[in-house]
Structure 1
Amino acid sequence: MAALVSATEPDSRGELPPRHDVWLASQMASYRTPVIPTGHAALDEELPNGGWPCSVLIELLLQDHGIGEMRLLRPALTALGRQRRIALIQPPYMPQVAAWTAWGLPADRLLRIQAERAADALWSAEQVLRNGSCGALLFWQTQVRAESLRRLHLAAQASETVFWLLRPLVGAQDASPSPLRLALHPAIGGIDVRIVKRRGPHAEGTLRVDLLDMPFFHPFPPTSPVPRHAYLDRRAPAAAAARNDTASLV
């Protein structure tokens, strides 16, 4: 009979083998699942495996909407959107299709879902994760119960999707099964990131991520003269907006 060797016994060099489920408080842990680089070198250095992990619940805790969170995610979304769709559930504003297209993300790669009830939005998020057709899921929620967070995390673990849950900053004081939680604050020329939770040593202070080279929308090619008048988004007709009242998954 072959001898049983404990996974915690040192090898011939006296070193312990690496494990994904156990780590020392002074060392950065690793994920079993693939990761997507954030596109920001300083942030990658502070995250296990150097990027956004797939198959887990990632929490982005926002001081307010529109402080730079989408530009922070832009490199990852651009990479993921080249092959698979990106799902947006309960976005606080109507997505600007022209901006997404400028990022290299065609409109047919975006899936927007609006639901009247929080329960319907939660169900939609779980279905997107279990379906496996989307490379990324962004889910905006104001209030999330602990039971709902556990359900979302379990659904994420059964998928290969990069899943971000965007919620108010006040949620940072609540317990969460998410292995990665980042608090985002506005900053001049970028965004301040505070790592609330990660699989690794406690992160001190905040990290400044420069976003000046990542404008949300390039309306004109670099060689084109910029006109002196502004462009306004055309509001959708009331009849068209009404069709988005119920949850839909296409």
Structure 2
Amino acid sequence: MNALPKDIESLHPSLWRGTQLARAHGRTVDTGYAALSAELPGGGWPLGTMTELLLQQPGIGEMRLLGPAMAAVSDKRSIALIAPQQVPNAHGYAFMGIDPGKLMWLKAVKSSDALWSAEQILRAGSCGALVLWQQHIRAESLRRLLLAAQSSEMLFVVMRPLARAQDSSPASLRLAVRAVAEGVAVELIKRKGPAAPAPIMVKLSPSPNLISEHRRVQRRTVELPAPAVEHAAITE
């Protein structure tokens, strides 16, 4: 019986050891934050699949976290935002390097409408990125979206509450995002590779376009260990 080669990935790109990060089974786009990219298979956000961001609360910096990648994929194609929980701020997106004219904002009264719209956009493959906000999604609906995403090379991100972290999901990458003093702490809940030893601290600089003198939101923060902090002047 022949022994397996030391580099098992040489047999097929889908094979990987549980003690090492898998290679991405497709293209990726750099996150813009070196410490985060280093912990993701392929070194960035995966394209042609589903990524879940599980948020402690909306508006803690999740769009700034995606900002560099969205700016990269919006160079030639639009970005679709479906049922965002906050009104998109054109000045904030421009500050991130995204042409507001490339944004496509879809309102959906019903969850079924949002899911249908997301599936059609994924199957059309005409956008560079799609971000979908949903509170509750049934497992079969997630699988439909994943299949649709696999037919494209789109950056597809589903935003859900952190409470949904215990739910099963077919997403290839699941990250919990919590607010900390100067940015966000990103915990890797699911990836093709070993468990991450600690949350990744990402520092986010606020945009002057998003600071209102009339309304300031108090952020709830959590105490977490502080490994190396990655700096990036990217904002929503």
Range of TM-score over shorter length: 0.7 to 0.9
Equivalent residue in structure 1 for 2:59, among 62, 66, 88? 66
The more displaced of 123-132 and 102-111 is 102-111
Corresponding position of 1:171: 164
User: Structure 1 residues 29 and 96, CA, compared in 2 at 3 Å: closer, same or farther?
Assistant: same
Cα distance change, pair 217–130 in 1 and its aligned pair in 2 (3 A): farther
Task: Quote the RMSD (CA, aligned, Å).
Answer: 2.1
Give the gaps of 5 or more residues in structure 2: 216-236
1:248 is matched with: none
Q: How far apart in 2 are the matches of 1:121 and 1:32?
A: 28
Q: Kindly provide the amino acid, as one letter, of the partner of residue 149 in structure 2.
A: A
Question: Compared with structure 1, are the counterparts of its residues 18 and 101 closer, same or farther at alpha carbon in structure 2 (3 Å cutoff)?
Answer: same
Cα offset, 1:21, TM superposition? 2.2
Aligned identity (percent) is: 46
Q: How does 1:176-215 map to 2 (within 5 A)?
A: 176-212=169-205, 215=206
Contact conserved, 1:102 with 1:217, CA < 8 A, in 2?
no
Equivalent pair of 1:100/1:106 in contact (CA under 8 Å): yes
* Correspondence 1:132 to 2:132: no
Kindly indicate whether the alpha-carbon contact (under 8 Å) linking 2:91 and 2:209 is maintained by their aligned counterparts in 1.
no
1:216 pairs with 2:207 = yes
Matches of 2:144 and 2:97 in 1, distance apart?
A: 32
Find the counterpart in structure 1 of residue 77 from structure 2. 84
Change in 2 beyond 3 A, CA 1:216/1:15 = same
The correspondence for 2:113, drawn from 120, 127, 143, is 120
Compared with structure 1, are the counterparts of its residues 18 and 71 closer, same or farther at alpha carbon in structure 2 (3 Å cutoff)?
farther
Q: Could you list the per-position Cα deviations for residues 89-133 of structure 1 after superposition, in whole angstroms to 9, with x for gaps in the alignment?
A: 000111111222233322220001111111111000001111111
AA aligned opposite 1:94:
V
Number of aligned residue pairs? 213
Alignment correspondent of 1:111: 104
Q: What corresponds to 2:47 in structure 1? A: 54
Superposed structure 1 runs of 4+ greater than 4 Å apart: 229-232
Give yes or no for the alignment of 1:45 onto 2:38.
yes
Q: Secondary structure at the match of 1:46?
A: coil
TM-score (norm 1): 0.80
Distance apart, 1:230 and its partner CA: 4.3
Structure 1, unmatched stretches of 5+, are 1-5, 220-228, 233-250
One-letter amino acid of the structure 1 residue matched with residue 153 of structure 2: E
Distance 2:127 2:21 in 1: 29
2:140 equivalent to 1:147: yes
CA distance change for structure 1 residues 46 and 18 in 2, over 3 Å: closer, same or farther?
farther
Q: Indicate which of 86, 93, 97 corresponds to 1:100.
A: 93
Q: 1:191 to 1:9 in 2, by over 3 A?
A: same
Q: Is the 8 A contact 1:37 1:50 kept in 2?
A: yes
SS in 2 for 1:139: strand
Q: Matched residues in 2 for 1:163 and 1:109: separation?
A: 16
- Choose 1 or 2 for highest CA Rg: 1
Confirm or deny: 8 A CA contact 1:89 1:113 kept in the other structure: yes
